[in-house]
């Protein structure tokens, strides 16, 4: 199947791109295109215009401040994965990105594009929520910051207005005493996960003070569950606490029951790995 007819614009400035979006009902932004183009080909999306932002300057950066990793709208997954500074500041980025599709896809697909595509089967929307990051968006009305908790409105839907462009994402750096871990189960490496899980654990000495787990392919939106109470309770069951807030569903890839089973398998694994990571980092700081 071929895409429905559409107009095409490749602006050279952000202002030109924003004006085109504001002035054309039904226009969509094209960055990496690894999510959008298949939808066009299957006619699951039929925009009146594609606004190709690949010629815009200064949007392909991956930089680290003291407390966060900044990823521009045109930074490819491969660029973020290859950044040693980003991996040092926030190790969960590299952990998760190594599971995103295949090298060919990562070489073209953009991390910010994945965020605004808002696929609950994708790794990066969940990572942004788990890390309590944010996205900066621009329009002809100005610029605003959208916290990850307010970004995802429903399946493949965000709270961005039709004339807004996500220009940058912010992933908080990993704090002292914190650790992260990521695992997913897929039929083949690079396929969409049947279920994926990432943990973010904060510790004080040997004690866990906060524990949160984010899930891929376990609900129709990216979901993060605070399992701190279950982790602190010797008789607690973090996986059961998570399942109470998840909505695994049947599809052609797996049954809801199997996805629920994978949640019970992966949750304790990533919590244990994240706790070990936090304690290992603490030991390394104490001996530095």
Q: Which CATH number fits the domain 7-52, given the four candidates 3.30.450.40, 3.90.470.20, 3.30.43.10, 2.40.50.140?
A: 3.30.43.10
Q: Where in the chain is the domain with CATH 3.30.465.10?
A: 62-172
Nearest to 277 by CA among 75, 94, 79: 94
**CATH code of domain 178-283:** 3.30.390.50
pLDDT per residue over 176-195, tens digit each? 999 999 999 999 988 889 99
Q: Where in the chain is the domain with CATH 3.30.43.10?
A: 7-52
pLDDT per residue over 246-264, tens digit each? 999 999 999 999 999 999 9
How far apart CA 97 and CA 106 sit, in angstroms, is 8
Per-residue pLDDT of the chain (288 residues; tens, 9 = 90+): 689 999 999 999 999 999 999 999 999 999 999 999 999 999 989 999 999 999 999 999 999 988 999 999 999 999 999 999 999 999 999 999 999 999 999 999 999 999 999 999 999 999 999 999 999 999 999 999 999 999 999 999 999 999 999 999 999 999 999 999 999 999 998 888 999 999 999 999 889 999 999 999 999 999 999 999 999 999 999 999 999 999 999 999 999 999 999 999 999 999 999 999 999 999 888 887
Q: Quick one: how far is CA 95 from the chain centroid?
A: 12
Q: Which helix (H) or strand (E) holds 29?
A: strand 27-30
Q: 187: which 2 tokens?
A: 């039929």
How far apart CA 202 and CA 24 sit, in angstroms, is 46
Q: Where in the chain is the domain with CATH 3.30.390.50?
A: 178-283
**CATH code of domain 62-172:** 3.30.465.10
């Amino acid at each position: 199947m071929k895409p429905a007819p559409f107009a095409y614009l490749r602006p050279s400035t952000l202002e030109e791109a924003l004006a085109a979006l504001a002035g054309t009902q039904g226009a969509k932004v094209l960055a990496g295109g690894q999510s959008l183009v298949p939808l066009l080909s299957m006619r699951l999306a039929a925009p009146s215009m594609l606004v190709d932002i690949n010629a815009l300057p200064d949007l392909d950066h991956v930089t680290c401040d003291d407390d966060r990793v900044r990823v521009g709208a045109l930074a490819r997954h491969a660029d973020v994965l290859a950044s040693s500074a980003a991996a040092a500041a926030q190790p969960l980025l590299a952990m998760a990105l190594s599971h995103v599709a295949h090298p060919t896809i990562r070489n073209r697909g953009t991390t910010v594009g994945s965020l605004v595509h808002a696929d609950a089967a994708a790794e990066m929307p969940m990572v942004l929520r788990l890390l309590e990051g944010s996205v900066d968006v621009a329009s002809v009305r100005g610029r605003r910051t959208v916290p990850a908790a307010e970004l995802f409105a429903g399946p493949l839907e965000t709270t961005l207005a039709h004339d807004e462009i996500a220009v940058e994402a912010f992933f908080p750096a990993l704090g002292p005493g914190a650790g992260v871990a990521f695992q997913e189960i897929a039929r083949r490496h690079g396929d969409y996960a049947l279920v994926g899980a990432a943990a973010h654990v904060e510790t004080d000495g040997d004690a866990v003070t906060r524990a949160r787990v984010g899930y891929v392919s376990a609900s129709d939106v990216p979901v993060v569950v605070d399992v701190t109470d279950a982790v602190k309770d010797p008789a607690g069951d973090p996986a059961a606490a998570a399942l109470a807030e998840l909505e695994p569903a049947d599809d052609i890839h797996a049954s809801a029951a199997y996805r629920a089973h994978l949640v019970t398998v992966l949750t304790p694994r990533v919590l244990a790995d994240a706790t070990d990571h936090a304690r290992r980092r603490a030991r390394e700081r104490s001996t530095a």
